[in-house]
Amino acid sequence: MLLTRGRRARRVAVIATVVAVGVIGTTVAAQATSKLKKGQTVYYIPKDTLNPYEVIADRGGKLALTAIGNKQVVQSGTKDTAAAQLPAIQTAIQTGANAIVIAGNDPAALCPQLKQAMAKGIAVVTFDSDTNCRQLFINQADTETIGRSQIQQLGKEMHYTGEFAILSAASTASNQNAWIKFMKIELKKFPKVKLVSTVYGNDDPTTATQVTQGLLQHFPKLKGIISPTTVGILAAAQVVDAAGDKGKVLVTGLGTPLEMKKYILNGTSPDVILWNPANLGYLAAYAAVELASRAITNAQGQSFVAGKLGKFSVGAGHTILLGAPFVFNKANIDKFNF
Ligand code: RAM
């Protein structure tokens, strides 16, 4: 089905907004607020310690913590499971950490331990992937926009006709699941675009590669893959490129510009979306230290200055929004260095 004028205009408007508001935060000079306590320890617990995206986010956190006289400890497992993250939470509690910043692998399974931490006065902030129990969630970009934009992009590239699949991360990841929910809502606008399968690569390159190969084998008419994970999209692009399916199977989703540059330039992935992961970790650090210093509470309307990123406020659901995502393509990919 061809898009109506209205639909096309709305889609273009959403993407244009995404591009126009691509700069995250403002450029206020880094500054430490006197209300913030120094010498505190903040545990960063990424989904896993091997994922390059999580490493960049943690580094952003370290930059902020160092600037405000606090210390970072990064600890997690190597698999994207709640069980792999529990030892790190326990260590944070036992060693008397002041705050935990965690990208949850499961929204519910971590709660007994996170609640225990909060009961001991440890500030608990989620970032990247939320859990059901925390004081604040630092959201990378508007969840609905991230989900809908990926369908809009692939739909356009597929001329709004044909089969596609989703390659996600862990099946329990709340961020990917929330984005996929909005992808499915957006998909209703395009009746000739059919989702044939959703598979999980667990943010493990080997698994993501294998499940992508499985998709190409099982769905010979496949025209697209959306991967809302940086690990997944890289694996998918590599598999499609190696299989000689460049241009036949379009790969889109969320990817880091440096990892995806080759595939953006060679046409395997014409458009890729993301935000700046370092800024996400940086903002989470300020939020955690503000809470741990009792300089803010997690109530809606509380605000603080996150160093070079400027001022942020707590919104509905005790959530802080980093900003709008970027769209990377051949025209702008050279400008990004993360
Ligand atoms: C992967 C992780 C992370 C997600 C990014 C986009 O690195 O799954 O949680 O936010 O992709």
Residue closest via CA to ligand 1's atom 6 equals 229
Residue closest via CA to ligand 1's atom 11 equals 229
For 164, the token pair is 């596609």
Domain boundary among 274, 299, 319: 274
Number of domains in the chain: 2
Please answer whether residues 158 and 250 qualify as being in contact, where contact means their C-beta atoms are separated by less than 8 angstroms: yes
The residue to mutate among 168, 171, 231, 233, having the most atoms of ligand 1 within 8 angstroms of its beta carbon, is 231
- Neighbouring CB atoms inside 10 A of 313's CB total 12
* Residue 210 shares a structural domain with residue 96: no
Q: What is the per-residue pLDDT for 28? A: 41
Rg value, the chain, Cα? 20
Q: Give the C-alpha separation, 155 to 161, whole Å.
A: 7
* Residue 242 shares a structural domain with residue 161: yes
* Residue 284 shares a structural domain with residue 265: no
* Residue 82 shares a structural domain with residue 122: yes
Percentage of the chain exceeding pLDDT 90: 90
* Residue 168 shares a structural domain with residue 284: no
Residue closest via CA to ligand 1's atom 4 equals 229
Domain boundary among 274, 298, 315: 274
CA atoms within 13 A on the CB side of 49: 12
**What domain range includes position 30?**
5-141+276-335
Strand stretches in the chain, DSSP E: 41-45, 71-74, 99-102, 123-127, 136-139, 162-168, 193-200, 222-227, 250-253, 272-274, 303-305, 311-313, 319-321, 326-328
pTM above 0.85, yes or no: yes
Nearest to 110 by CA among 138, 91, 90: 90
pLDDT tens across the length of the chain (338 residues): 122 223 333 443 333 333 333 333 333 434 445 699 999 999 999 999 999 999 999 999 999 999 999 999 999 999 999 999 999 999 999 999 999 999 999 999 999 999 999 999 999 999 999 999 999 999 999 999 999 999 999 999 999 999 999 999 999 999 999 999 999 999 999 999 999 999 999 999 999 999 999 999 999 999 999 999 999 999 999 999 999 999 999 999 999 999 999 999 999 999 999 999 999 999 999 999 999 999 999 999 999 999 999 999 999 999 999 999 999 999 999 999 99
Please answer whether residues 170 and 204 qualify as being in contact, where contact means their C-beta atoms are separated by less than 8 angstroms: no
Query: For the packed helices 277-292 and 52-67, what is the interaxial angle rounded to 10 degrees?
Result: 40
Domain boundary among 235, 252, 274: 274
| CATH number of the domain where residue 235 is located | 3.40.50.2300
Residues 6+ away with beta carbon under 8 Å from 65: 42, 71, 72, 285, 289
CA of 182 to the centre of ligand 1 (A): 16
CA of 5 to the centre of ligand 1 (A): 34
* Residue 227 shares a structural domain with residue 201: yes
